[in-house]
Amino acid sequence: MKKITTVLTLAILFVFGLKTNAQLKGNFDSFNEEKDELGITGQYFGKSDKKGYGFKFVKEADGKIVNELHYYEKKKTPQPALKLTLKESYYNKNKVKLFYVWMTASASGYVEVLEVDPGVFAQIQQTQYSSNGGPAPLEANRKVTDVYIKDQAKFETWDVETAQAKVDLIIASLNTEKIEKETAEWMKNEIFAKNVDKVVFAAQWYHLQKQGYPDKLAVSGADFKTELDMGGNMNFMAFFSVPPSVKYPGQQINIEYEMAGKKTNRETLRKKSAAWSNMVKILETKNFEYRQSPTRAIREYNQYQSQFVQDYAAIQLLYDNKDKLKVGQTYDFTVRVYVHRDGENGAVLAEGTVKLKYTEAAKKVFEGDPTKPEAKGVFAQFEQFLNE
């Protein structure tokens, strides 16, 4: 396709024998007189250049069912510029007309066209997966790069942004059946069924999730905690009924903390200053691609880094409550995971509460050890950060 060819190397163009000479591009009015089983064949116009292109659906060739979309750039050619293959299961089950072609064995050489409305096709590229001979998986990161329209009056309605929204909706719908089957399998696990859409806590991250198995529930749950010593490691993980990357593609994740009537959240603090932005990184749904989130620390000692790591948004909340902390007391600490877009929180993806106990050890950790005045406590170190 014309926009497809612009992203390919000259070597690829040579392989396909294509020449993007605008002088050779003409009208394809005669295509509009042809009929096919899917109602696709006709002359289409590119949104970006308004030039005419020929689309022809071919069901059968050489005595075989091929179900291909033939794409023409020149007025008269014996062969189409490209032949794209229909994803038959999408059409047979959901009447979704998605065609794909691998032009090179890499993600950049893969292109799809998807009908978003009768006579309107979105051209899509994705960058996550290499060629496997079939279409890109549903969870691929699809980006609409242009729109092809049979009736030019529809240009007033359809642009790249509108087509992108419709593509996301269609792909999410296609994902539903697959997700439901996968969720049914996960629900057979008692630990998941008990904690789905919840946040769980543990002293050690490996009590929450086995390293290397983010897509499988490989822990017993015996070490999940309802109470944690603030003097030790404090870790958490969320369970999702649907992976955020699937249900909310292209969005962010925000985490909110609440304790003793006070709240903090990562996104608000991240935007306060350059120092905060450096300490609180953006979380994206594309990195939350399983039914269990990456493990996260309120605060823990990381043996690989040989130092403590902490979520500064969580430490801000503990600091805000420092005058209330008394040795021997426990405090409800709630974690909420939100989907986040355009500066606003959306749905709560998971929520959980743990009791944090302020022990003698915790007091030394946060307020400092009187016997070691040279070592600053967490609160003193945090104040230095706030004063930067």
- Which comes out higher in pLDDT, residue 307 or 353? 353
pLDDT at residue 261, as a whole number? 96
Tens of pLDDT along 218-271?
999 999 999 999 999 999 999 999 999 888 878 999 999 999 999 999 999 999
Residue 74 pLDDT > 90 = no
When pLDDT is cut at 50, 70 and 90, the band that residue 128 belongs to is low
DSSP 256-296: EEEETTEEEEHHHHHTT-HHHHHHS--EEGGG--SSBPPPE
Residue 46: name the closest of 144, 170, 131, 191 by CA: 144
What per-residue confidence (pLDDT) applies to 2? Answer: 56
Q: What is the pLDDT of residue 9?
A: 38
Task: Please state, as a whole number, how many other Cβ atoms lie within 10 Å of the Cβ of residue 362.
Answer: 20
Q: Which range among 4-8, 299-303, 324-328 shows the weakest confidence by mean pLDDT? A: 4-8
The secondary structure of residue 150, as a DSSP letter, is: S
CA distances from 276 to 85, 283, 302, 387 (A): 49, 14, 21, 11
Mean pLDDT (whole number) for 313-321: 98
Give the pLDDT band (50/70/90) at residue 15. Answer: very low
Least confidently predicted of 41-50, 107-116, 123-132:
123-132
pLDDT digits (tens, 9 = 90+) for 333-342: 999 999 999 9
Of 283, 260, 258, 280, the C-alpha closest to 271 is 280
Contacts of 302 (CB under 8 A, 6+ apart): 308, 309
Residue pLDDT, tens place only, 276-306 = 999 999 999 989 999 999 999 999 998 877 7
CA 320 to chain CA mean position, Å: 33
Q: Enter the pTM of the model.
A: 0.67
Contacts of 261 (CB under 8 A, 6+ apart): none
Average pLDDT over residues 195-208: 98
129: confidence class by pLDDT, cuts 50, 70, 90? low
Q: For the ranges 50-59, 69-78, 125-134, which has the lowest average pLDDT?
A: 125-134
Q: Mean pLDDT across the chain, nearest whole number?
A: 90
Under a CB-based contact definition with an 8 Å cutoff, are residues 141 and 128 in contact?
Answer: yes
User: 173 pLDDT exceeds 90?
Assistant: no
9/41: higher pLDDT: 41
225 and 309 Cβ atoms separated by less than 8 Å: no
pLDDT on residue 14: 31
pLDDT reading at 22 higher than 50:
no
pLDDT band at residue 72, thresholds of 50, 70 and 90?
Answer: very high
Rg (CA), the chain: 27
Higher per-residue confidence, 319 vs 104? 319
Q: What is the mean pLDDT of residues 19-39?
A: 75
